[in-house]
A and B are shown apart, each in its own frame.
Chain A
Amino acid sequence: MMNIHRDSPPTETLPNMDKSPAVRAEDLTVVRGPRTVLRGIDFTVPRGQITGLLGPSGCGKSTLMRSIVGTQAKVTGTLDVLGRPAGHPKLRTLIGYVTQAPSVYDDLTIRQNLEYFAAILAPGHAAADQRHENVTRAIDDVDLTSHADSLAGNLSGGQRSRVSLAVALLGTPELLVLDEPTVGLDPVLRRDLWDLFHNIAAQRGATLLISSHVMDEAERCHRLLLMREGRILADDTPDALRTRTDSETVEAAFLHLVDEAVAAAAREKETTR
């Protein structure tokens, strides 16, 4: 059912790149208006895995994702995505991106929405069969086959966000950037979607970067980037994080790290005074 093209990270389009990280940032800074949203952060996102991007609302998760996709202005520092500078035209077919608010056409049906975006990704008559197959599969991936001919505007909030997710699953993206894809979904659907994410990583060799502010989802990621106030607080596996902070859950580990950071900042203030 799924397009199982490859079991290992892609080698045909990006020679000698399979060992390199999917995303590499050095001294990444983003300014939005008067605010510095990302403050000179460094991190890497390994290929073929699910990396969770966690942190409170407003900590810069969405801005970081927009920078990786190449839609964020005023980005300074180094940001390489799949071996090319972020925003490179060649990356546009390789990245699937889901914004926080569902971005689909309310006055089109689910199928019409997907058919249009598929035609942008793979235009022309020759690709028509492939497109049809991709559209049907993407609708099935997000479990909306029974609603395929409903107008997106008539769907529930959770259903609309799944249509938006389906658009990102069209084609075979090497990197999926998903901004809070499971917000507002019921537990069963959330579990199913996380199973789907794991399938995509395992069977298609794709890299997934998924943001969330729900800490229990962190347990399902291979790696975690914990963010707070425009900085990376931790970059590790869930297990290592829990062990390092001697915590039961990732949530407790996160709180522990925040307290540590606040205490360190206070000490610094003390010494500079």
Chain B
Amino acid sequence: MSTATHTPGTTGTATPAPTSALNLSRTTATAGRVLRQLRHDPRTIALMILVPCVMLFLLRYVFDGDPRTFDNIGASLLGIFPLITMFLVTSIATLRERTSGTLERLLAMPLGKGDLIAGYALAFGTVAIVQSILATALALWGLGLDVTGSPWLLLLVALLDALLGTALGLFVSAFAASEFQAVQFMPAVIFPQLLLCGLFTPRDNMHPVLEAISNVLPMSYAVDGMNEVLKHTDMTAAFVRDALVVAGCALLVLTLGAATLRRRTA
């Protein structure tokens, strides 16, 4: 008979088998469950899908006399909206999972942490695609956003941004003890990036220290990528780099998020 002798500090040593291996059925079951939860909450769906469109519409007529500015800001915002929406939704959803006891129950079951995270990413990624398609279509054909490159590339960056938002939301939810705190992470994590990402002024016009900081913030690359599509007809090297940086950041933060899911808790 085997025995377990845990020592304090080395928690979870009795579970040596890989726990984050992906299982496709469990991942899709989780994604389906998250979407089913959303379906019982039509108001949230409406807000997620419609608010970005309304903001774009507003912006178009705020800059009514200056269509060039709308082109610049509009393209950047197409990348920023999915990030913010997915950040908020994911941080609250995973916080609920932690506080309702369902996370403890799931982790006591044969569910891999990777299954759970991939399930969330898949579900909110799907919502992000719908949101981005609507926002991009409205901007391009409804509001006359003048983009040189392919709308598909805009969509690709928007999707990567949504993934990044999901990853960040998942990660910060580990540090929030309540929904009040989770919402406050939005100004703490998102606003600095918003100020420094080049939306208000080109990044090379900033104070060198701020420019250096903006160089390590992922949202800067999301906005740069959108601007590349705005100005160039084909896929530039800079665009590929920007897309890879955003995707890499999303994966890194998702991995960090997985590390915050503990099977054993105090």
Contact = CB atoms under 8 A, between A and B. Distances in A.
Interface of A: 20, 31-33, 69-80, 83-89, 92-93, 95, 97, 99, 101-108, 112, 116-117, 119-121, 123-125, 151, 167
Interface stretch (B63-71, B102-110, B152-160, B239-247): B102-110
Return the 8 tightest CB-CB contacts between A and B, nearest first. Answer: A85-B4, A103-B101, A123-B25, A119-B29, A73-B264, A73-B11, A116-B33, A92-B110
> Main secondary structure on chain B at its contact with chain A?
loop
A18 B59 CA distance: 71
Given A31-B8, A84-B2, A87-B12, A103 B26 contact: no
B19 interface: yes
Interface stretch (B35-43, B81-89, B136-144, B197-205): B35-43
Interface in B1-40: 1-9, 11-12, 14-15, 17, 19, 23, 25-26, 29-30, 32-33, 36-37, 40
Contact of B4 (A72, A73, A87, A107): A87
Interface of B: 1-9, 11-12, 14-15, 17, 19, 23, 25-26, 29-30, 32-33, 36-37, 40-41, 100-102, 104-111, 262-266
For B4, B15, B262, the residue with the greatest tally of chain A CB atoms inside 10 Å of its CB is: B4
B108 A97 contact: yes
A156 B207 CA distance: 58
Contact of B105 (A84, A99, A124): A99
Contacts of A84: 2
A187 to B, nearest CB: 26
Contact of A119 (B8, B14, B26, B108): B26
Contact of B40 (A107, A120, A167): A107
Contacts of B264: 70-73, 75, 87
B15 to A, nearest CB: 5
Contacts of B108: 69-71, 92, 95, 97
Given A71-B264, A85-B3, A120 B14 contact: no
Contacts of B2: 80, 83-85
A167 B104 CA distance: 13
A80 B1 contact: yes
11 contacts: A71-B107, A71-B265, A73-B262, A73-B264, A87-B12, A92-B109, A95-B108, A108-B37, A112-B36, A116-B36, A120-B106
Residue of B2, B14, B32 contacting most chain A CB atoms (<10 Å): B14
Contacts of B30: 116, 120
Nearest to A101: B101
B105 A97 contact: yes
Contact of B6 (A75, A97, A123): A75
B8 A116 contact: no
A116 B1 CA distance: 34
A173 B26 CA distance: 19
A179 to B, nearest CB: 10
B17 A74 contact: no
A73 B36 contact: no
Contact of B110 (A78, A93, A125): A93
